[in-house]
A and B are shown apart, each in its own frame.
Chain A
Amino acid sequence: DTAVSQTPKYLVTQMGNDKSIKCEQNLGHDTMYWYKQDSKKFLKIMFSYNNKELIINETVPNRFSPKSPDKAHLNLHINSLELGDSAVYFCASSHISDTQYFGPGTRLTVL
């Protein structure tokens, strides 16, 4: 069974479109995260959710909005996509302040 899963694995879209990436974890963790890994492979935290509450929100454009329907899911919605949004996006989960389990990543390409 996959612990942290993301869909889709690849996403190619035009500038200006709106897209969503889904994430699900079956580990019973109480905290979920979104990270962005840019072309230089630098991995940076975007959001974390604990008990359906947004705990941190780094300097991410408000075109990005995380949505958590329940503890096992944290989806990422992106409006008005820009070229600079092209990256690999990773979902992760953990018990609060514990080691994190990462999903396989979603490679987003904005044309």
Chain B
Amino acid sequence: SQKIEQNSEALNIQEGKTATLTCNYTNYSPAYLQWYRQDPGRGPVFLLLIRENEKEKRKERLKVTFDTTLKQSLFHVTASQPADSATYLCALVGNSGGGADGLTFGKGTHLIIQP
């Protein structure tokens, strides 16, 4: 069955350091992978999308890599700040077909940036 695993439930990082979050998947052949941020009491917010033919994507202090051979994506937050503390979700389009597939999410990694 299809599975998405994110490296840990919580990750504590000191302010200013780079946080690296991992997303591994099995039994998928995704055309693209997405990362979302979720704050307590709020809906997920889209951050980055990376396609299968892209190795790396950047947005401000965020960087995502995608290795379809390893079936893995890494999500980096550089020069981390306490405001980056949130849960980060990796998501893939489900294999239901038909085009209008919903996203299948990993369980998320709770990132805590300590001042």
Q: Would you give the 0/1 interface string for A1-41, flagging 1 where the beta carbon is closer than 8 Å to chain B?
A: 00010000000000000000000000000010101000011
Stretch at the interface among B13-21, B63-71, B89-97: B89-97
User: Cα distance A45–B101 when bound, in Å?
Assistant: 9
* B43 and A48 contacting across the interface, CB-CB below 8 Å: no
Interface residues on B, range: 20 to 34
Question: Which parts of A63-90 form the interface with B (CB within 8 Å)?
Answer: 90
Question: Which parts of B16-41 form the interface with A (CB within 8 Å)?
Answer: 34, 41
User: Cα distance A92–B34 when bound, in Å?
Assistant: 15
B44 within 8 A of A: yes
* A42 and B99 contacting across the interface, CB-CB below 8 Å: no
Q: Would you give the 0/1 interface string for B39-52, flagging 1 where the beta carbon is closer than 8 Å to chain A?
A: 00111111001000
A111 within 8 A of B: no
Min CB gap A35→B, angstroms: 7
Residues of the B chain whose Cβ atoms lie less than 8 Å from the Cβ of A101: 46
* B98 and A90 contacting across the interface, CB-CB below 8 Å: no
* B46 and A97 contacting across the interface, CB-CB below 8 Å: no
Min CB gap B78→A, angstroms: 22
User: Cα distance A105–B44 when bound, in Å?
Assistant: 10
* B89 and A43 contacting across the interface, CB-CB below 8 Å: yes
Min CB gap A64→B, angstroms: 14
- A55 (CB) vs chain B CBs: closest residue: B100
Residues of the B chain whose Cβ atoms lie less than 8 Å from the Cβ of A92: 43
Residues of the A chain whose Cβ atoms lie less than 8 Å from the Cβ of B103: 45, 100
* A97 and B101 contacting across the interface, CB-CB below 8 Å: yes
* B100 and A56 contacting across the interface, CB-CB below 8 Å: yes
Residues of the A chain whose Cβ atoms lie less than 8 Å from the Cβ of B46: 99-101
**11 pairs from A and B in contact (CB 8 Å cutoff):** A35-B102, A41-B87, A43-B108, A45-B102, A48-B100, A49-B100, A99-B49, A100-B46, A100-B103, A103-B43, A105-B41
B residues touching A (Cβ–Cβ < 8 Å)? 34, 41-46, 49, 87, 89, 93-94, 96, 98-105, 107-108
